[in-house]
Amino acid sequence: MCNLDGHYAADSVAAAIALGAMVAESSQESNGQGGALPLSASLRSTSKVLSSPGKGSDAISPSNLSKNFRADVLRENAEAVFAACDAAHGRWAKLLGVRALLHPKLRLQDFLSIYNITQEFITSTEKIGGRLGYSIRGTLQSQAKSFVDFQHESRMTKIRAVLDQETWVEVDVPDEFQAIVSSLFDSEAIVSGSKDNAESNMTQSYSNEGSQVGSVAQNEPTDSSSTTAVNAAQGKAEVIERKKSDAVTSSQSNNSNTKERGKNATQTLECGGVSYHMVNCGLILLKMLSEYIDMNHLLPALSLEVVHRVVEILKFFNTRTCQLVLGAGAMQVSGLKSITSKHLALASQVISFIYAIIPELRQILFLKVPEPRKSLLLSEFDRVAQ
């Protein structure tokens, strides 16, 4: 099929087709004039037309017919390849649809494995088929949004129950939560204006531990494919997790003398050089915020949805805390006999801590938000801070 231009059989077939057409036309003309020409005369007149360089001879030449035939075959082959890719997209989308109720309830890492495999499949088949798979992309985006919605609703239900059961008693702060705060402030360099320099430094500092993670994070701004963007987000999340573990190790070593004296690791939460006394609901909210950050990094296409959910849970926590402590609602829902000054002080400490980490939250979460939407979300964050 690739050598149609020089193939004698194709040329002879095309010439025969043209010759047959000329014979038919000449015979029709002779019948219309009332007399039938001999077949030899028809063939002679047809051969003259074919051999003469007159009008329309180029349009029916064997070479042009061969080129048109090749173009038709190539076009039909391209359509067949696209149809096969489209059918594969449809089958994959059906598999996702069967598990539509299960996927939102998965853990983040389990859902992410399905999400990444589907993204790689879409990217590969789109390159082969030459067209975008709008249907399967819509299915994947819909399930990812359902995952974020379900995770947010479950966290809203949990924080609501925790606040209603809160007795506003000071609790000790495990090292895990101090590590989360440390990771927030360590991540500030990644999302600052000098992001490229920060990522190159980060690559050097982690080259011995994981060169693959560092290289992905460094190349992420220059690669526009969806698969590379997801892998880069995974690299950033792994770096943050390593910083968390380093912070835990450092905190454990710094507090070894305190543990030897029989005291807890930490009684306050350090943030920006300030110590905050915490209650149970404040620590649980901090853990939830770190989980939202993980979703934001690993599902960058849904960053806008994640930011909206973070704003919603922060607003709810602030409003409900005021109702329970300042409005004395805790006396009805959690059985407190009275709201003391200590309760007020602890509630103030928790709210002050959340206020202190809002700038870091905003910088990290806005990394993947589209530029036209940032101004509206910034105003929402500012209202939460007020």
For the stretch 205-244, pLDDT in tens is: 333 333 333 333 333 333 344 444 445 445 544 545 554 4
pLDDT category at 261 given cuts 50, 70, 90 is: very low
**What percent of the chain lies above the pLDDT cut of 70?**
63
Inter-axis angle of helices 303-321 and 280-298, to 10 degrees?
170
Q: State which H helix or E strand residue 50 sits in.
A: helix 39-51
Q: Is the pLDDT of residue 97 over 50?
A: yes
Report the candidate in 79, 55, 68, 58 with the shortest Cα–Cα distance to residue 10: 68
Query: What pLDDT does 1 receive?
Result: 43
Query: What pLDDT does 79 receive?
Result: 81
Q: Which residues of 96-126 are buried (b: 16+ CB within 10 A; e: fewer)?
A: beeeeeebbebebeebbebbbebbebbeebb
Q: Is the pLDDT of residue 203 over 80?
A: no
Among 115-124, 136-145, 184-193, 263-272, the range scoring the smallest mean pLDDT is: 184-193
Whether the Cβ atoms of residue 236 and residue 190 lie closer than 8 Å to each other: yes
Query: What pLDDT does 169 receive?
Result: 94
Backbone torsions φ then ψ of 283, nearest 5 degrees: -70, -40
pLDDT category at 89 given cuts 50, 70, 90 is: confident
Report the candidate in 167, 177, 181 with the shortest Cα–Cα distance to residue 325: 167
How high does pLDDT run on average in the chain? 74
Average pLDDT over residues 94-101: 92
- Residue 275 β-bridge partners: 270
d(CA 118, CA 72): 33
Whether the Cβ atoms of residue 23 and residue 16 lie closer than 8 Å to each other: no
**What percent of the chain lies above the pLDDT cut of 90?**
41
User: Who has greater pLDDT, 196 or 216?
Assistant: 196
**pLDDT tens profile 336-370:** 999 999 999 999 999 999 999 999 999 999 988 88
pLDDT category at 258 given cuts 50, 70, 90 is: very low
d(CA 275, CA 170): 13
Q: Is the pLDDT of residue 61 over 90?
A: no
Q: Is the pLDDT of residue 15 over 90?
A: no
pLDDT category at 374 given cuts 50, 70, 90 is: confident
d(CA 85, CA 130): 9
Whose tokens are 């609901």? That residue is 281
- The per-residue DSSP string of 236-301 comes to HHHHHHHHHHHHHHHHHHHTHHHHHTT--S-SSEEETTEEE-B-HHHHHHHHHHHHHHHHHHH-GG
pTM of the predicted protein model: 0.65
Instruction: State the chain's maximal CA–CA distance in angstroms.
Output: 125
Half-sphere exposure of residue 260, counting CA atoms within 13 Å on the CB side?
Answer: 5
User: Who has greater pLDDT, 148 or 47?
Assistant: 148
